[in-house]
Amino acid sequence: MNITLVFFLGLIVALIGVVPPGLLNMTAAKISLKEGHNRGVMFSIGACVVVLLQTFLAVIFARYLTQHPDIIDVLQRVALVLFILISIYFLFVAKGEGKIDVKQQREFRSKKSRFFQGMLLSILNIFPIPFQAYMSITLASFGWLTFERSNVIAYVFGAATGTFVTLYIYMFFFDKIKSKRFKSQKNMNRSIGVITAVVAIITLIQVVKEM
């Protein structure tokens, strides 16, 4: 498998996982707005350092699971149900009528540098581990990812890069709307629903193929 392709697969998967508004991207945007772009970048770098380790652990876990297909079958079915429920919620239930005021975001005060704050919040955010493990298994099942050392390294660095790119986009985007209220929460909900629906469809295809 071409390591460049594997790198971009890791980047794309990370983009999908970090695009929905969450603790890391919203904090990066807030720091960039209130304390300057450079401090937001340092926060993002600190977060991505932890993402490197989280993704590595996830891929190793995925490699273990591929050697136990019975466990994968159960996890795939559970994941399918979860992704369907999440998609239904964000597409049809979440109204998104509330407005997000950037200036009203909860302020996180830290006595340490923003780099270490980024590491801390990234450690608290354990979602990337199960998400990356599942996506690694899915990519491997399509033959797009192998668990050779070079592929694992390329995928891990791709995921960290994708995370940084997403955080940077949030900082850039919120800088452009800093004097306005952010009114597109409904559109965000729909975007999240579409993403999870695509993942659900991919999972469904895998489940059907293995029946």
pLDDT at position 15 is 86
Cα–Cα distance for residue pair 192/88, rounded to 1 Å: 10
pLDDT at position 159 is 94
DSSP symbol at 186: H
Whether residue 102 contacts residue 177, with contact meaning beta carbons closer than 8 Å, is answered with: yes
Cα–Cα distance for residue pair 56/153, rounded to 1 Å: 8
pLDDT at position 151 is 93
Q: In what helix (H) or strand (E) does residue 4 lie, and over which residues does it extend?
A: helix 3-18
**What six digits make up the tokens of 105?**
């975001």
Q: Mind listing the pLDDT tens digit of every residue in the chain (211 residues)?
A: 688 899 999 999 998 878 766 678 878 888 888 888 888 899 999 999 999 999 999 999 888 888 876 766 676 677 677 778 767 776 776 655 444 444 444 444 443 588 888 898 888 877 788 888 888 888 888 888 888 999 999 999 999 999 999 999 888 887 776 655 544 555 555 666 676 677 678 767 766 776 6
Q: What are phi and psi of 184, to 5 degrees?
A: -105, 35
Give the closest residue to 143 by CA, choosing from 54, 34, 66, 49: 66
How many CB atoms neighbour CB 196 within 10 A? Answer: 22
DSSP symbol at 105: S
Cα–Cα distance for residue pair 105/6, rounded to 1 Å: 36
Residue indicated by tokens 């990066």: 28
Residue indicated by tokens 């960039």: 32
Output the pTM of the full model: 0.68
Cα–Cα distance for residue pair 172/138, rounded to 1 Å: 32
pLDDT at position 1 is 61
pLDDT at position 105 is 42
**What six digits make up the tokens of 146?**
């192998």
Buried b (16+ CB within 10 A) or exposed e, 55-64: bbebbebbbe
Buried b (16+ CB within 10 A) or exposed e, 67-101: eeeeebeebbeebbeebbebbeebeeebeeeeebe
